[in-house]
Every structure is written in structure tokens, then in C-alpha cells.
Structure 1
Amino acid sequence: MNTLFNFLKLAALLIYLATALSFVLEPLQAYSFILSVVTLILLVTHITEFILMKGKLDAFQEQDGQHFIKTLLFGFLHWLPLLMAQNKQTAD
């Protein structure tokens, strides 16, 4: 499962990178609108996820803002493994 999550995290980072590069590299400029829309949808979705999951994320010890940044970038790919590990510990 971790391999899949890491692959999806890499894919998310590549989408963000492609969006940024689409504004400066001519071959990607044809895709800048669709990349921007996809990135905007991801960011709005991830912000909503953070708001909904903030209470559960506060239970995990991390530096201020780390959960927000990681959820903003990766969404459920950040917090779902944390919750799954926590649930596994409580079940044991």
C-alpha cells in the first residue's frame, strides 16, 4: 500500500510541476489551462480535506503547519496512512 501511496504522491507533485512549467515552457503552454484547472480542483479539494480532518490530525505530533502543507500537497495520501496506522495500533 505504501508503494501505491508513494507513486500517487509523485504523480501529484508531477502535476504541480507540470502546471508551473506550463507557464514558461512553450511545449506545455498548450496544456496550461487544463493543468491549471486540475491543480485548482486538487488544491480546493485538499483544503476541504484538511478542514474536515484537522481534528483527527491534531492527535498526531508534528510541527506546526506540517499537516496543512502535506495535506495541501497530497490530500488523503498524507492523512490516510496515519489513520490506518493508528487504527491498527488500537486494534492490537
Structure 2
Amino acid sequence: MALLKLLCIGVYVLGLASAAGLLPAAWSFWKTIAVVLLAVHLLEVIVMYKYVKRYRGSLGASLVLTLLFGFLHWKPLMQAKERA
């Protein structure tokens, strides 16, 4: 799971670097991939909000973590409810 989180962060870093013009033009697709990933995670926030709000920390932190990592953040929260 940690590897998948690192991959998400890597996509965002490459997307930001591409948007800032720090990467060659041939790598500009990273910007698009990062935007699509962020949009998918935004949909996850909306659809899975009942699990996102179960986070022990603040709701704001949970929202940011879901935007960054998507199901890697809310899936354990959902599974904890199923185990209880």
C-alpha cells in the first residue's frame, strides 16, 4: 500500500513539474494524468464521504488524504466499519 501511495505522490510531482515547464515537452502527458487522477479522487470524496468522515483526525485532513490517495485512504476506513 505504501508503494501505491508513493506512486500517487510521484504522479502529482511529475504533473506539477510538467505544468511548471521543468520537464521536456514529450513528458507533458503527466500534467493530464495528474489532473485526471485528482478528478477521480474528487469523485471518490463525494461518493465515499460517509467513510471519509470516519477518519480519526480532522475532516479536512481526511479530505486531503482522499484527494491525494483515493481508495488507499478510505478503503481501510470502510473495512474497519465492516469488522466492527
Asked if TM exceeds 0.5, the reply is: yes
Number of equivalent positions = 83
1:17-74 deviations in Å (ceiling 9; x for gaps): 1111223324x43212x11111111011000000111122223322130111000000
* Aligned position for 1:87: 82
> Which 5+ residue runs of structure 2 have no aligned equivalent?
none
Q: TM-score, normalised by structure 2?
A: 0.84
Q: Identity of aligned pairs, percent?
A: 33
> Which 5+ residue runs of structure 1 have no aligned equivalent?
none
- Report 1:46-85 matches (<5 A): 46-85=41-80
SS at match of 2:21: coil
Q: TM-score, normalised by structure 1?
A: 0.78
Show structure 1 runs of 4+ deviating over 6 A: none
Compute the RMSD of aligned alpha carbons.
Answer: 1.6
Q: Which amino acid aligns with 1:25?
A: L
Q: Is the 8 A contact 2:15 2:32 kept in 1?
A: no
Higher CA-based Rg: 1
